[in-house]
Chain A
Amino acid sequence: MLQYFLKRVLYAIPIALGVSLVCFALVHVAPGDPLASVLPPDASLEMQQLMRTIYGFDRPLPVQFALWLWRAFVGDLGVSIATGRPVAGEVWHAFGNTFMLAALAAAFGFLVGGLLGLLAGYYRGGWIDRTASTLSIAGISVPHYWLGMVMAIVFSVQLNWLPATGAGPGGSAAWSWDWEHVRFLILPALTMSAIPLGIVARSMRALVGDILSQEFVEALRAKGLSERGIFAHILKNAAPTALAVMGLQLGYLLGGSILIETVFAWPGTGFLLGNAILQRDLPLLQGTILVLAMFFVILNLLVDVAQTWLDPRIKRA
């Protein structure tokens, strides 16, 4: 198992390098001068040259990439052009916010979606199945910024139960785990959970149906197991695939959603990314994408390892 883990980590390194290269190149192929947004329109040529040197844009691209990669590796993602603050700090802060949102959305979506899917697959064709199918199709296909707006209108404007925007009372920056702050998480997290809920429910339903149609289920009944005992077998059979589906969904959630975070003014990575794009803040954009991509690579690695650990049929070589 340890050997497999190490091997898998080794495989992840070229992927990570490739991803960073794409991140780096992405920004350099984007049209327009990255300095345009910080310099006054009438800046002198000398001034422009100076800024270029300060930001390192005058060096050959491979050198820029190597330097950028090395700095990123030691935690220096450069300085935001728009705010002048270190990108690493901004990303870290935003990532923390998105993480909370994603964790809550995942917990809710996976739990409810998983349960719905299990029941729908087990009672295929029954009313639970029909309800679950309708819910999950709705969850997947309703545009989530629209869902977010509807939620905000219903629960904060009309019912006035929950706040619609921000990440704390009075726009305070410091987060704490009390109701005053957690209230702000609920609407965006629920909105974000719609898609993973639907996808997890649908995959679970298909998975359970598939397992139930296998002959061993009949053999389990033949040896006298109760339906509860059989359910345990279904769960263990479904676990590896379910985990893979959930891992992928968690990855998407952790990427943050520009639309949802914008609708709810939630200061996460999606919000940050949206701002970086609007303000042409290249270091910030690069840094955010890089961190998110790395997270995705690591998450995939963990899911793979966990799946191998759970499923005895996958060769552990």
Chain B
Amino acid sequence: MTPLVRIEDLRVRFRTAERTVHAVNGVDLSLMPGEVVGLLGESGSGKSVTLKALLRLLPEARTTMSGRMAVAGQDVMALGGSALRAYRGSVVSMIFQEPMLAFDPVFTIGEQIAEAVRRHENADRTAARARALEMLDRVRIPSAKRRLDAYPHEMSGGMRQRAMIALALACRPKLLLADEPTTALDATVQIQILLLLRELQKEFGMGVIFVTHDIGVAVEVSDRLAVMYAGRIVERGSARDLIRAAAHPYPRGLLASTVHGAMRGRRLDAIPGAPPDLAKVPDGCAFAPRCRFADAECVSRRPDIVRIDAGHEAECRRLDAVAASAEG
């Protein structure tokens, strides 16, 4: 089977008047059709930028991108003009963290869903509206017919996020990018939305990249996990691999000792030390300054990727020392 997503050596750099930000520094990521990958990492590690790069949403004038990205056989880097617009929303679509901000406040929910359908499927207004209604039913919004004519501010946070999902799935995308879709919601609503997403993902057979800070959430929804640090994926593997046997000191400190049940709500940014300055790419391992296992070579040379198990990899030179410290 060919992968749905193949990202190779993705690098993203932002230039502003004052400084340059190296937000993504060589990300490799593949996704099979129908697979859910959880992307973890503390604030500023480049998760959102990676997702936006996949939709080519980054501001063109200030952004330098390099590497290769292919989604469903299309070369994302080479897309432009109408081909890019046809790709956005129909091959890949996105759910945002704050549905209140992601909907246009002066158009109704129904209009905004129908707009996407009309855009991609050449449907007339009636057909597009019918699809919007069907989608609202699909995400189980009660009295969907009435909600079709509601404005975003007239709905609760949970309902808005359901509507956002309805919008994202209206054109049957092959890949769904979910950027912390439940962070802004109450705990009980969060669970409902996660269950709904999981169910729709199976039903539609979509690939999903799910960004979250919440380890519990990541484990619950993902087939595989990838942990980002300073614009690189430092460790990846199945949820089981990472929970039971995280190898890299960064995810390990957070994940290895976590007991099930106490996991929900734990956030990755509880690690001591400050996140790295992204003004330049470090020569060595970006985590070294915060790592108690680091030696001089860690700082000066980029570590190789070490394969631990099938599908379980970590980018660290001191894996032996890390493992030994756990045993001792």
Contacts and interface: CB of A to CB of B under 8 A. Distances in A.
A219 B102 contact: yes
Interface string B71-108: 00000000000100111111001101010011111111
B85 A233 contact: no
Interface stretch (A12-20, A82-90, A223-231): A223-231
A224 B89 CA distance: 5
A215 B106 contact: no
Interface in A52-66: none
B211 interface: no
A224 B153 contact: no
Contact of B96 (A219, A226, A236, A312): A219
B88 A311 contact: no
Nearest to A219: B102
A219 B88 CA distance: 10
A222 B106 contact: no
A214 interface: yes
A229 B96 contact: no
B106 A312 contact: yes
Interface stretch (B5-13, B34-42, B112-120, B267-275): B112-120
Contact of B115 (A216, A221, A223, A236): A223
A288 B309 CA distance: 90
Interface in B183-220: none
Contact of A237 (B57, B87, B106, B116): B106
A223 B89 contact: yes
A180 interface: no
B81 to A, nearest CB: 9
* Among A223, A225, A229, A313: residue with most chain B CB under 10 A: A223
B151 A224 contact: no
B102 A215 contact: yes
Contacts of B98: 215
Nearest to A223: B89
B55 interface: yes
A313 B106 CA distance: 7
B85 A215 contact: no
Interface residues of A, number: 19
A236 B102 CA distance: 16
Interface string B273-299: 000000000000000000000000000
B151 A222 contact: no
Interface string A275-317: 0000000000000000000000000000000000001110000
Given A225-B119, A229-B119, A214 B101 contact: yes
B167 interface: yes
Given A233-B104, A237-B106, A312-B151, A226 B85 contact: yes
A180 to B, nearest CB: 46
A224 B57 CA distance: 10
A67 interface: no
Nearest to A216: B104
Nearest to A238: B106
A216 B105 CA distance: 9
A210 interface: no
Contacts of B108: 312
A207 to B, nearest CB: 13
Contacts of A214: 101
A224 B106 contact: no
A215 B96 contact: yes
Contacts of B94: 219, 222
Contacts of B153: 312-313
A220 interface: yes
6 contacts: A219-B104, A222-B55, A222-B57, A223-B93, A312-B106, A313-B106
Interface of A: 214-216, 218-226, 229, 233, 236-237, 311-313
Interface of B: 52, 55, 57, 82, 85-90, 93-94, 96, 98, 101-108, 115-116, 119-120, 151, 153, 167
Given A215-B102, A216-B101, A312-B153, 10 more contacts: A214-B101, A216-B105, A218-B102, A219-B94, A221-B55, A222-B55, A222-B89, A224-B85, A312-B106, A313-B151
